[in-house]
Structure 1
Amino acid sequence: MGKLKIEQRVIGPVATNVYLGINTETKEAFLVDPADRAEDIALWITQAGVTLKAILLTHGHFDHIGAVSELKKRFQVPVYAMAAEVVVMEDSTLNLSCNWASAFTVKCDQELKDEEVISVAGFEITAYHTPGHTKGGACYYVASERVLFAGDTLFYHSVGRTDLPTGSMGELRRSVQRLLSILPDETRVLPGHDCDTSIADEKRYNPYS
């Protein structure tokens, strides 16, 4: 049995999956896509009894970054994102927050490149650049645990939408096909919305495979 415990909450105006990855041996943790309600997420982290080490962003849309700035300040942790996504995160038009109650932007501390491996909370995590939903979309793969945090790139029998700023269906299809070709069939896929799936299942049933 692995040492990664994954807790999930559905948070925000469009039901975003927020993940807390916990190292059961060290009680260190990382947070994926803190969507909104920073106070609630902070309480979740505190009640879990863990030390937060990083925030990982799969992309810069408002519904995945709403609590980033406050949590970064409170826990004093770096924010990781794909380098190509910085322009989306720092533009309220591109991140779509200007279409909601108030426009906002967030800053990235660690700009990643494709297939860069980062060490976070005792895990080696590979960041894959998966453009299509946005130009700098990222998926995070924890090889030792066979887990992929897929954001809005790959969903259960579907993929993310591509009709928003910097989106591209051609790029998204290529990104999905790449993931399905390089990751083990038993990989658990944890998407940004809706239910989880597996690489094997998506190879068989995803219309974009």
Structure 2
Amino acid sequence: MGKLKIEQRVIGMVATNVYLGINMETKEAFLVDPADRAEDIAQWIRQDGVTLKAILLTHGHFDHIGAVSGLKREFQVPVYAMGAEAVVMEDSTLNLSANWASAFTVKCDHELADEEKFQVAGFDIVAYHTPGHTKGGACYYIEEEQVLFSGDTIFCHSVGRTDLPTGSMGELRRSVQRMLQILPDATRVMPGHECDTSIADEKRYNPYS
């Protein structure tokens, strides 16, 4: 039994999965893709009695970053994202907030590179650059817990859309195939929308495998 407890809430106008990863030994935590409603997420974190250490962003679309600024003010924690995604996060047209909601932008504190390893809340995390849905999409893999936070790269038996700014179907297909090839079958996949899946299931059922 691992030390990672994953709590999930569906938040925002397009039902984004927001994940709170908790180290049950230390009560430190990280947050993945805080979609919206910063006050509600902050209350969730406080009610759990955990210490938030970082925010991880799989990509820069508005429905994955809407609560970042509010949570940074509340908890004074760094934001991690792929360096290639800065252009999306920092442009309200590219992050789609100008079209769907009130225009806003976000900057990350730690710009990651492909296969960069870092530690948050007592977990060793590998960031994989998975372009396609956006040019700087990322998946976060925790080997010791056999879990992948896949954002909008891999969905259950599907993939993210590629018809938005900086998207590319060719790159997305390559990104999906790479993840399915290099990660163990038992890896649990936690996507940005809808239900979780596994690498084994995606090898069998994902049409882009």
Same fold, TM-score > 0.5, yes or no: yes
Deviation string, structure 1 residues 12-61 (Cα, Å, up to 9, x no partner)? 00000000000000000000000000000000000011000000000000
CA RMSD of aligned residues (A): 0.4
Q: In the alignment, what sits opposite 1:153?
A: 153
Q: In the alignment, what sits opposite 2:55?
A: 55
Written as runs of structure 1 = structure 2, the 5 A alignment for 1:125-204 is 125-204=125-204
- Equivalent pairs, count: 209
Give the deviation of 1:100 after TM superposition: 2.1
In structure 2, give the amino acid aligned to 1:4: L
Using the alignment, how far apart are the partners of 2:137 and 2:46 within structure 1? Answer: 29
Deviation string, structure 1 residues 127-170 (Cα, Å, up to 9, x no partner)? 00000000000000000000000000000000000000000000
Q: In the alignment, what sits opposite 2:68?
A: 68
Using the alignment, how far apart are the partners of 2:183 and 2:118 within structure 1? Answer: 18
Using the alignment, how far apart are the partners of 2:3 and 2:101 within structure 1? Answer: 40
Give the deviation of 1:202 after TM superposition: 0.2
What is the aligned-residue identity percentage? 86
Give the deviation of 1:101 after TM superposition: 3.0
Q: Secondary structure at the match of 1:44?
A: helix
Segments of 4+ moved more than 3 angstroms: none
Give the deviation of 1:73 after TM superposition: 1.1
Q: In the alignment, what sits opposite 2:99?
A: 99
Q: In the alignment, what sits opposite 1:43?
A: 43
Matched, 1:15 2:15: yes
Q: In the alignment, what sits opposite 1:109?
A: 109
Deviation string, structure 1 residues 111-135 (Cα, Å, up to 9, x no partner)? 0000001100000000000000000
Q: TM-score if structure 1 supplies the norm length?
A: 1.00
Matched, 1:86 2:86: yes
Unaligned 5+ segments in structure 1 are: none
Q: Quick check: 165-174 or 97-106, which moved more?
A: 97-106
Using the alignment, how far apart are the partners of 1:43 and 1:89 within structure 2? Answer: 25
Unaligned 5+ segments in structure 2 are: none
Using the alignment, how far apart are the partners of 1:100 and 1:61 within structure 2? Answer: 10
Using the alignment, how far apart are the partners of 1:83 and 1:113 within structure 2? Answer: 6
In structure 2, give the amino acid aligned to 1:160: G
Q: TM-score if structure 2 supplies the norm length?
A: 1.00
